[in-house]
Amino acid sequence: MIDFAVPPALAALAARVRAFVADEIVPYERDPRLTHHGPTDALRAELVGKARAAGLLTIQAPKALGGMGLSHVEQALVFEAAGWSTLGPIAMNCAAPDEGNMFLLSRIARPDQVERFLLPMIRGERRSVFAMTEPDGAGSDPGQLKTEAVFDGEAYSITGRKWLITGAEGAKTWIIMARVADNPHGPSGPTLFLCEGGTPGIVIERRMNSMDRNYVEGHAVVRFEGLRLPPEAVLGEVGEAFRYAQMRLAPARMTHCMRWLGAASRAQAIALDHARRRTAFGKVLGEHQGVSFMLAENEIDLKVSRLLVWETAWRMDRGEKARHESSIAKAEVSERLFRVADRCVQVLGGIGTTDETVVEMIYRDMRGFRLYDGPTEVHKYAIGRQLMRAGSAFTATPEADDALPRAAE
């Protein structure tokens, strides 16, 4: 049975979140602490205080760690409501990269690591980074990882350079991906390390100028030089970084979709309000076919995106890895929602290119969504490989006797 009914308690929670964001967080969208490099730590702390007072801080965390233990489907509705403002997820401590990092740490960190690194994040006391992407190495293809960790039997010496490291400035919990070199003391291979921000050997070279400004303290170029970490700093097991990254990435793709669905819905609401009030050639804009078609196309894209998110979240709640489905959702939702934002700018006309409304900021921030957590083209490549290898639930597999037409005899 397929049931799309939203339980009343979940609908009430989503409505509560939406009201909180609209009433308490939206006014901060013109705060001068929302800089070219994103919200400052001071602004984040103030927003987090608002969510904490409202009982809406880090509600996605497991119940045992102080959260509500939301399922993926429940997150879909709540995170969309939080995304009504790009500052909403920051306030509620469910924004990237922290949300994905907390998800990963809650599953593979040792108890001592949970106490030291994760619980302060859940309480909103610190931020985190996931340092994987490199200028000439790992990115969409983590197999090109060049950052190296040399183990001498007592400590790991890590050397390398990373960029596009979101929130590096001021972050206290660092997850670093490096390739452990072959050594006589133990296993080798791609490995995750966990350490404190400010550890000697972590050098933040500079912050990068980017189109978006919705991530706290922006994106940075980082160098590891003389960084020595003890064996206890290993997160999980040596050599298992790629597996852990996959564990983190599929849910993180979907939470990106959830949050941006809220932002796109906000842009549509603003464009629709404008189309109902602004007049041209004797009638309101929305009565002109060209404008009404754009609004209709937006409604279609929002609906399709929401269904893709819900279906993939449902699969993950059933225990499926849903890599194929999350790639489909990430690729399609990111493209559709960017089109929504673009049409909203068009409906607003010249005012849409200014900061008179938040649509201009949503449009710029949304552009990056088509790239991070895998560009659309990389996801399509993965989808195509899956189809070539095994087909899908709706596509006959090549191995089936009747999958392909037979040549005439």
- 400: pLDDT strictly greater than 60: no
The model's pLDDT over 7-28, given as tens digits with 9 standing for 90+, comes to 999 999 999 999 999 999 999 9
Alpha-carbon gap, residue 111 to 383, rounded angstroms: 37
Alpha-carbon gap, residue 91 to 28, rounded angstroms: 11
| Residue 288 backbone phi and psi in degrees, to 5 | -85, 135
Computed over every residue of the chain, the mean pLDDT equals 95
Q: Which helix (H) or strand (E) segment is 364 a member of?
A: helix 359-369
**Local confidence band at 409 (pLDDT 50, 70, 90 cut-offs):** very low
- 402: pLDDT strictly greater than 80: no
Residue 112 neighbours by CB under 8 Å, 6+ apart: 232
The model's pLDDT over 164-214, given as tens digits with 9 standing for 90+, comes to 999 999 999 999 999 999 999 999 999 999 999 999 999 999 999 999 999
The reported pTM is 0.94
H helices of 201-288, in order, are 241-277
Question: How much is the CA Rg of the chain, to the nearest whole Å?
Answer: 23
Alpha-carbon gap, residue 55 to 20, rounded angstroms: 10
**Are the C-beta atoms of residues 287 and 365 closer than 8 Å to each other?**
no
| Residue 279 backbone phi and psi in degrees, to 5 | -110, 155
| Residue 370 backbone phi and psi in degrees, to 5 | -75, -5
**Local confidence band at 1 (pLDDT 50, 70, 90 cut-offs):** low
The model's pLDDT over 299-312, given as tens digits with 9 standing for 90+, comes to 999 999 999 999 99
Instruction: DSSP for 283-295, please give it.
Output: EEGGGSHHHHHHH
The model's pLDDT over 69-110, given as tens digits with 9 standing for 90+, comes to 999 999 999 999 999 999 999 999 999 999 999 999 999 999
Q: What percent of the chain stands above pLDDT 70?
A: 96
- 401: pLDDT strictly greater than 50: no
Alpha-carbon gap, residue 224 to 202, rounded angstroms: 5
How far is the CA of 59 from the CAs of 91, 97, 173, 378, in angstroms?
Answer: 11, 16, 20, 32
pLDDT value, residue 393: 78
Alpha-carbon gap, residue 225 to 390, rounded angstroms: 44
Express the helix, strand and coil content of the chain in percent, nearest 5 each. 50, 15, 30
- For domain 8-95, is the CATH number 1.10.540.10? yes
* The length of the chain, given as a count of residues: 409
- 397: pLDDT strictly greater than 80: no
pLDDT value, residue 249: 84
Closest CA to 347 of 300, 280, 257, 282: 280
Beta bridge partners of 351: none
The tokens 């050397």 sit on which residue?
159
As assigned by CATH, the class of the 242-390 domain is mainly alpha
387: which 2 tokens? 């189809």
Question: Could you give the 3-state DSSP secondary structure of residue 27?
Answer: helix
Q: What average pLDDT does range 334-358 have in this prediction?
A: 98
The tokens 């997850």 sit on which residue?
175
CATH superfamily of 128-239: Butyryl-CoA Dehydrogenase, subunit A, domain 2 (2.40.110.10)
**Local confidence band at 398 (pLDDT 50, 70, 90 cut-offs):** low
Alpha-carbon gap, residue 230 to 156, rounded angstroms: 6
Q: What average pLDDT does range 138-153 have in this prediction?
A: 94
**Domain definitions of the chain by residue range:** 8-95, 128-239, 242-390
Alpha-carbon gap, residue 397 to 388, rounded angstroms: 8
Q: What percent of the chain stands above pLDDT 90?
A: 90
Beta bridge partners of 39: 34
Q: Which helix (H) or strand (E) segment is 208 a member of?
A: strand 202-208
The model's pLDDT over 310-320, given as tens digits with 9 standing for 90+, comes to 999 999 999 99
